[in-house]
C-alpha cells in the first residue's frame, strides 16, 4: 500500500479516540487462529469474531462512535437512519443505551425478523420504499420535518473511525499478518482498516471482496463501475456505490479487489459453520469465499479476516447448507424407475442401509411421473459420509436398478 492523505482527513488518532469512546458498550471480540480453515486452505487463517457483538455485527462500532459525538441538543431531537440490517440494530441499541429517540427507515420488503430485532431495542421503525434508495427519500423527509440527526450507515468520518477500531484490535491480537481480506459494501469497514494499516502495518497487504451483482470496485484501481444489482445472499454488502468519504480514504491504498459469485459465498457460509464452527452471514463469509477461490494466491501466507456479521436467517442458513451438501455430493438425490410391485421399496432401503447411506427423504410417484402405468418413480435423498462414499452408493445401486442422479 502506498501512503497518501485522505480528503476526509481521517487519522489513526481519530480511530484511537473512537476506541476509548466506545469501549464501554462495544465488545472487544476474540481474534483466533482457525486450525480447520488453515488446514483446508494451506494458509494460516486468523479470524476476528465480530459475529459475537451484541447485535451480531461490527456495524455498531461506527454507530456508537458517531452517536457519542452528538451534542445535547442533537440527542434531545433524536436520530434517524436508513438500513435494512445490522446498522439499524446498532443505532437502535445505542439509542436505547443513551436514552435517545431513534427512527429507523427500512425498505418495505425487509425480512420480518430484522424488523422485529430493530424494534426490540425500542426504535421506531418506518417501512417505506421498495429499495434502499427509496427508503432514503422517506428518511430525508422525516429528518427535515422532525429535525433529527442522520446516522449514516457508512459515509461519515466518525462512523469510519468507529469501524477502524476493529482493525486496531485485530492488529494488536494478531500482528505480522501477511494479508487481510475485507468485505466492501458502502466501504466504511475497509476505510477504517486502511486508516489503521497504513500507519501501523503498511507491509500487510489489504484486499477487498465484493459479490458479482454489487462489485463497483471490481475493476480496481480503475474508477467505480456501474453494476446490475439484484438479489444476493450477501445483502450486507449489496451497495451499488460506496460512499464518497469511504472512497476518499480508500483511494489507491488497496492491493486488489476480488469478486466472488453467489455459489462461492454459499459454500463459504457452509464451510464457516462446518469447519470453523462459526455462523457467518453472506457478507461475513465473503472474505473466506475469496480465499477459497484463490487458493494458490493465499497458500503459505498468514491471512486474516473479520467475520463481519452473523445475522443470517435460520431457514436461509439451513437451505444454504443443504444446497452446499448437494453440490459437494454429500447428499444424493437419486431417481429410480422401478416396477410397480410390493417389496421393492423395502429392498432398496435395505441396500442403501447396507452401503452405509442415511435416507433423509423418500417420494414415491405412480400416477404422473412414471413413464408407464406398470412402473413407478421413486425419489430418495441420501446422506453420505463424503463425496467418495456418495459415488460408491450410486454405483452399487446402479448395478441393481435403473437410477440417475437428480
Q: Mark 84-94 as b/e (b = at least 16 C-beta within 10 Å).
A: bbbbbbbbbbb
Query: Distance (Å, rounded) from C-alpha 82 to C-alpha 136?
Result: 6
Cell of 97: 443505551
Query: Distance (Å, rounded) from C-alpha 375 to C-alpha 157?
Result: 69
Local structure of 279: helix, strand or coil: coil
* DSSP label at residue 57: B
Query: Distance (Å, rounded) from C-alpha 233 to C-alpha 260?
Result: 12
Which residue, chain included where needed, has cell 410417484? 365
Sheet strand arrangement including 358-365: 358-365, 375-383, 331-339, 402-405
Which positions ≥6 away from 339 have C-beta within 8 Å?
374, 375, 376
- Integer distance in angstroms from the first to the last C-alpha of the chain? 48
Contact 59, 25 (CB under 8 A): no
What's the Rg (C-alpha) of the chain?
25
Catalytic residues: 59, 308
Cell of 14: 481519530
* DSSP label at residue 224: P
Which residue, chain included where needed, has cell 448395478? 399
Closest by CA position to 250, among listed 168, 186, 158, 166: 186
Distances (CA, A) of 215 to 39, 260, 340, 399: 29, 9, 53, 48
Query: Distance (Å, rounded) from C-alpha 208 to C-alpha 28?
Result: 23
Amino acid at each position: 500500500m502506498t501512503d497518501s492523505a485522505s480528503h476526509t482527513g481521517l487519522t489513526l488518532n481519530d480511530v484511537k479516540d473512537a476506541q476509548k469512546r466506545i469501549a464501554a458498550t462495544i465488545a472487544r471480540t476474540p481474534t483466533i487462529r482457525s486450525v480447520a480453515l488453515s488446514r483446508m486452505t494451506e494458509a494460516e487463517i486468523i479470524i476476528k469474531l465480530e459475529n459475537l457483538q451484541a447485535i451480531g455485527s461490527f456495524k455498531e462500532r461506527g454507530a456508537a462512535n458517531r452517536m457519542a459525538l452528538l451534542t445535547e441538543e442533537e440527542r434531545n431531537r433524536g436520530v434517524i437512519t436508513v438500513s435494512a440490517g445490522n446498522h439499524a440494530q446498532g443505532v437502535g441499541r445505542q439509542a436505547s443505551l443513551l436514552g435517545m429517540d431513534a427512527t429507523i427507515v427500512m425498505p418495505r420488503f425487509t425480512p420480518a425478523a430484522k424488523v422485529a430485532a430493530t424494534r426490540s431495542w425500542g426504535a421506531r421503525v418506518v417501512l417505506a420504499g421498495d429499495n434502499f434508495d427509496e427508503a432514503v427519500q422517506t428518511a430525508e423527509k422525516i429528518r427535515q420535518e422532525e429535525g433529527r440527526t442522520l446516522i449514516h450507515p457508512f459515509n461519515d468520518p466518525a462512523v469510519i473511525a468507529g469501524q477502524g477500531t476493529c482493525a486496531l484490535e485485530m492488529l494488536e491480537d494478531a500482528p505480522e499478518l501477511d494479508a487481510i481480506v475485507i468485505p466492501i459494501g458502502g466501504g466504511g469497514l475497509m476505510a477504517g482498516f486502511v486508516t489503521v494499516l497504513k500507519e501501523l502495518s503498511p507491509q500487510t497487504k489489504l484486499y477487498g471482496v465484493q459479490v458479482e451483482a454489487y462489485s463497483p470496485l471490481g475493476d480496481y484501481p480503475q474508477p467505480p463501475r456501474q453494476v446490475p444489482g439484484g438479489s444476493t445472499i450477501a445483502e450486507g454488502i449489496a451497495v451499488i456505490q460506496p460512499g464518497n468519504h469511504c472512497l476518499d480514504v480508500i483511494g489507491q491504498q488497496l492491493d486488489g479487489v476480488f469478486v466472488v459469485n453467489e455459489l462461492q459465498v454459499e459454500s463459504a457460509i457452509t464451510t464457516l459453520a462446518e469447519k470453523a464452527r462459526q455462523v457467518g452471514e453472506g457478507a461475513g463469509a465473503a472474505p473466506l469465499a475469496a480465499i477459497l477461490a484463490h487458493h494458490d494466491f493465499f497458500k503459505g501466507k498468514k491471512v486474516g479476516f473479520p467475520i463481519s456479521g452473523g445475522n443470517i436467517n435460520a431457514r436461509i442458513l439451513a437451505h444454504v447448507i443443504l444446497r452446499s451438501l448437494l453440490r459437494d455430493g454429500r447428499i444424493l438425490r437419486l431417481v429410480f424407475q422401478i416396477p410397480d410391485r410390493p417389496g421393492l421399496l423395502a429392498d432398496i432401503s435395505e441396500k442403501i442401509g447396507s452401503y452405509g447411506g442415511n435416507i433423509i427423504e423418500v417420494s414415491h410417484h405412480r400416477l404422473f411421473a412414471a413413464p408407464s402405468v406398470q412402473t413407478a418413480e421413486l425419489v430418495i435423498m441420501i446422506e453420505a459420509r463424503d463425496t467418495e462414499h456418495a459415488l460408491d452408493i450410486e454405483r452399487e445401486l446402479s448395478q441393481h436398478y435403473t437410477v440417475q442422479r437428480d
